Structure 1
Amino acid sequence: MKINLIKKPNYLHEAISLIIQVMQLQDADDIEKIHISDNPERYPVPMEDMDTRYADLITYRKNMLKKAYPIMKDNIPLKISTSYVDESASNMTYINTLFYMLEVSDAKDISEEELLIAHLNSLLTYYYNKAGTANICDENYFQSFNNSNWKTGDVNINTDDMLQLISELNFPESLKWFALEQITNEDCRVSFIATLITAQEIVEKHFYLVEERYSKAVKYLENPAIQMETLEKTLGMFIENIKEIVPLLSLEISVLSYNAAGLKTYKYQHLKDTVFLGIIIEELMDLTGHYDISDERIVDMCKALGDTLRYEIINLLTQRPYFAKELAELLGVAPSTLSHHLSILVNNGFLHMDLSDRKVYYKTNKEALTKLANYFQTKANSVKE
């Protein structure tokens, strides 16, 4: 697998992160309470020292939030689009998914039609994930629904099709209406793009605060050996899954989401397989000895295991690897049902996927189970007697 380091900042990604963080604030006073981490107990040095060490990142984050909060906090479309799509299995917000469907790094480059297609691809992805057919790789399959199609330059949308598509999703009602309005109303899409541009302009005006750190991070990651070493260290269980499947992986540096890392691989041929790497995540790992895993991430992992069928899948795969067809027969479930549950376990890092004779087989990822166990052991050790 080759890695392509993207050296230019992804201002749109920073803008999306800014919007999400604004919506997570209870009030403006919370901005001054921000530290480099919400989990000071995980670090061997006082949080005040940590804040001093990363003062540029703290200043960048606080100053942007102060600017964006009064502009965006009461924006209803932003509130809705940053809500969780399906809290039963994922901590992903709709706006995150929408961003991943846009092959741009600058909000000013988003056309109204491109945003429409991104909405439709996002909805259809949720639809097929829910149906358990998430592994379909034919791009044409993801450019149409019933009598509607949305190839670039040839978009033909039937409202009844969209009503049917949205009604079958596990979305909050407010998000369903938001999605429908975005699809059927061009003015709403234009307004949404304008909001993204506003958020990005805030990022661009403040990026000088972290310019030096960003340049150093790019220089550090220019070494191919360091690229792979860093990815294996921060996303090892996910990287191992895709080494033989993804020929080219784009690597982008996240600044505002400085202590996070995320991997996105696509069914869509026109989109890049991309990993977003927090600019200080490796340093935080070195300080703690492990990934600064958030409580929200732990909740996601527990939700993934909190299903009888998925628990049975894990138990079977701890004994030996299985092909999906074998698992479906052993568990007595339809392939589509199994695919849905396997996707959840893979997305949460509990399973590895390997190729053999062009078939994918699954095996348990010991590292993920160990990480979860260690997290709770750390919690147990911190209990005051």
Structure 2
Amino acid sequence: MVNSKNMVLTVHAPLEFLYSMFAVGTNKHFYTMIREFDLEPNDTIIKNITEMRKKLSRYMEQELEYFFDLPGLGYILYKYILQNPGLTEVPQLLQVFNNSEATDLAFNIIKSVGKNNMPKENTEEYENLKCNTNEMLKLAKLVKFQDSKRRDRVIEALENPEETKQRFYLLLSQFYSRCFSPIESDIINLISANKEKYELLLKENPQKFVEQYLNLDSINDIEISIHLSFFKYISCHHYSIYSEGFADWFILGIYSDLLFDEDLSAERLSNFFKAISDPNRIEILKLLSQRPWFGQELAEKLNITPATISYHMSFLQRTGVVTFNRADNRSYYCLNNTKLIKPFEEFINYFKEEKKK
């Protein structure tokens, strides 16, 4: 049974700020992702992204691409948000980041790209790595990167941690003042207007809510904060720093309910086969058939970014063939064999039924 008391639906400005930068930074890919869910981006999202892009200087465009396109480093910002649960305003987040050490940024980067090569936590080697960028650089060079742009950016960041921090902070502060701040209240109000709908869905059937919207089998006793997001738009993404005392976060697009309109049989089957048709997704399913994997582990195995893993999982989780399980203070992706096999059986039966007519 799911205890809805462990879940809180919220509207979190710093996380929305982060996702606004993803939406603008990934540019055309953002719209492509929406369309791959058989939906069209609505006029509101197009208008806001267009208006924000108009306010970018050429320098900001370059930096936004560097930090927030698909092979970018910008997703690291979520760690500063989760590690400081008291943050509720974007200026607070900017201050926390500005007051942090450049080595903190470098360490967060190396933890994200080199998880399997990291020394064990709470060891002397681990503690020494935290403040030694030369050792971080050595570790990064052991990581296999499929994306050469991402490799170059990671190496550059570790070679120049103070400069990278200053560049990142300047981009964050300029993007907030020029692009996000002028629309912030409107966006927060728009999200808040949709909050009641999801609160009702959660209250009516907590088990169905976590299975359908969060792709979890159960949540046990872990605390979950769910940020409803306009710029996430659709589907959900999971964040955790895997430490006691910190809640897990899910970012849920406010239009995610559109994914669960009843489809005709042929359309439902078409969506299933479309979801599993990508070679990376087939490889993910193959790996999950062997055992549960956590996201960073999959990213390193397939030599793709954690953001790309999340992107592919959005499609697989929509079909129900992949779910989350929490164990060993981590959230693992798991294969649901029943839901993987059932559409193939329905596909065969669909033609058998047609033949009888």
Q: Same fold (TM over 0.5)?
A: yes
Residue 12 of structure 2 corresponds to 9
Residue 19 of structure 1 corresponds to 21
Q: How does 1:171-182 map to 2 (within 5 A)?
A: 171=145, 172-182=147-157
Structure 1 residues 212, 22: CA separation in 2 closer, same or farther (over 3 Å shift)?
A: closer
Residue 353 of structure 2 corresponds to none
CA offsets per residue over residues 176-199 of structure 1, 9 Å max, x none? 443344344324312311211222
1:101 lines up with 2:79 in the alignment: yes
Shift in Å at residue 118 of structure 1? 4.3
Structure 1 unmatched ranges of 5 or more = 86-92, 151-155, 325-335, 378-385
Structure 1's consecutive aligned runs of 4 or more residues displaced over 4 angstroms after TM superposition are 34-37, 144-147, 287-290, 293-299, 343-356, 360-363, 370-374
Distance in 2 between residues matched to 1:295 and 1:119, nearest whole Å: 40
1:120 lines up with 2:102 in the alignment: no
Residue 200 of structure 1 corresponds to 176
Shift in Å at residue 256 of structure 1? 1.2
Distance in 1 between residues matched to 2:325 and 2:231, nearest whole Å: 33
One-letter code of the match for 2:132?
Answer: I
CA contact (8 A) 1:14 1:203 kept: no
Structure 1 residues 149, 361: CA separation in 2 closer, same or farther (over 3 Å shift)?
A: closer
Shift in Å at residue 140 of structure 1? 2.9
Which segment is superposed worse, 107-116 or 364-373? 364-373
Residue 228 of structure 2 corresponds to 253
Q: How does 1:297-312 map to 2 (within 5 A)?
A: 302-306=279-283, 311=286
TM, length-normalised to structure 1? 0.61
**SS of the residue 1:204 aligns to:** helix
Shift in Å at residue 275 of structure 1? 0.5
CA contact (8 A) 1:112 1:190 kept: no
TM, length-normalised to structure 2? 0.65
CA contact (8 A) 1:10 1:252 kept: no
Shift in Å at residue 258 of structure 1? 1.0
Residue 164 of structure 2 corresponds to 188
Shift in Å at residue 64 of structure 1? 1.9
CA offsets per residue over residues 273-304 of structure 1, 9 Å max, x none? 110000111134337687xx8999757x6414
CA offsets per residue over residues 237-294 of structure 1, 9 Å max, x none? xx11x523x611111111112123112233344653110000111134337687xx89
CA offsets per residue over residues 18-60 of structure 1, 9 Å max, x none? 333334347xxx99xx7995359x46xxx6xx84xxx444432
1:365 to 310, 320, 336: 336
Distance in 2 between residues matched to 1:37 and 1:355, nearest whole Å: 28
Identity %: 14
Structure 1 residues 145, 166: CA separation in 2 closer, same or farther (over 3 Å shift)?
A: farther
Residue 203 of structure 2 corresponds to 225
**SS of the residue 2:231 aligns to:** coil
- Number of matched residues? 311
Structure 1 residues 185, 119: CA separation in 2 closer, same or farther (over 3 Å shift)?
A: closer
Structure 2 unmatched ranges of 5 or more = 349-357
**SS of the residue 1:276 aligns to:** strand
1:235 lines up with 2:214 in the alignment: yes
**SS of the residue 2:214 aligns to:** helix
CA contact (8 A) 1:3 1:249 kept: yes
Shift in Å at residue 169 of structure 1? 1.8
Distance in 1 between residues matched to 2:152 and 2:292, nearest whole Å: 40
Distance in 2 between residues matched to 1:208 and 1:121, nearest whole Å: 31
Distance in 1 between residues matched to 2:273 and 2:21, nearest whole Å: 20
Structure 1 residues 196, 288: CA separation in 2 closer, same or farther (over 3 Å shift)?
A: farther
Q: How does 1:8-157 map to 2 (within 5 A)?
A: 8-11=11-14, 13-25=15-27, 37-38=34-35, 42=38, 51=42, 55-68=43-56, 70=58, 72-75=60-63, 78-85=64-71, 93-96=72-75, 98-103=76-81, 104=84, 106=90, 107-109=93-95, 110-113=97-100, 116-129=103-116, 140=122, 145=125, 148-150=128-130, 156-157=131-132
Structure 1 residues 169, 145: CA separation in 2 closer, same or farther (over 3 Å shift)?
A: farther
**SS of the residue 1:38 aligns to:** helix
Shift in Å at residue 174 of structure 1? 4.4
Structure 1 residues 270, 298: CA separation in 2 closer, same or farther (over 3 Å shift)?
A: farther
